[in-house]
Structure 1
Amino acid sequence: MVTVSPPGTWAYVLRLPHDPRAARVARMTVRAALNGHGAGEVVDVVELLVSEQVTNAYRHTKGPASLRLAALAGGRLRVGVRDGHPHVPAPFGRPPWDRVPPPPADAENGRGLRLVQLHADAWGCRPLGGGPLGRDAGKLLWFEVGGPRKAMAGT
């Protein structure tokens, strides 16, 4: 069986253990993959947003996470981080996605997902069903760069 993909498309998936070093491993993987595919112009922003999402997965869950990088048609890059926690944070949750207020100046956290809102061209969340014994529960938070700017929850 032959699989045909549109030119310039590719995908990588990385399973990340519940480990404080997972964000660093994810950043290094993103940098290597994007530079290897000639997408160096988006490395810094993708590396920043991946670091925030993987750090949140580590901080707010007790299990592993996974990172998926996919080059799509039209020069877009979609990045997804899957974790086992069902809570969908803003700006990935219900509309209005564009009204996530900035945290207070003295807050020690709460800025990470606002960065997605500021730097990604599109973002969304796909809740994952609770399969047998709840193993598939959780969510997939994703964002895109390199396309028209819009928020699309649930896709």
Structure 2
Amino acid sequence: MKGGRSRAETKKSDAKLSVKKGAAAAGKKPAKKGKPVKDPNKPKRPASAFFVFMEEFRKTYKEKHPNNKSVAAVGKAGGEKWKSMSDEEKAPYIAKADKRKSEYEKNLQAYNKKLADGPGDEEESDKSRSEVNDDEEDDEEGSAEDDEDDDE
């Protein structure tokens, strides 16, 4: 073959270009697999002023355009409307967003404090309370039956 590369040469050059997963991983620390698990009890971040506006806008838009099934069209129309609004028109949405943000910060502080105090203690105490209450109810029922037997 004139000017062509042989198969052996092609394999060698491909081997140099390709990254070997086994060799690369052997020399380095093992990578973390996936994202860390999110805590379902952690408070969710509040919506921005725009998203507070969009909650209301979606309702009015769907009333005016009941046949529209496109989410993108609603978002696009909402974005255009938001851009055209003055600061005075945006003020109520900004106020609602600020209120939600302050509530979120309070909830987050409470959540972080609960984590710092130790989350496992409360679950155990709730279980022990219910078990104690169950035992007390059983004792009361048993003592009432004993009283009836004594009367006879």
TM range, smaller chain = under 0.3
Higher relative contact order (CA 8 A, sep 6+): 2
* Greater share of helix: 2
* Greater share of strand: 1
Radius of gyration: which is bigger? 2
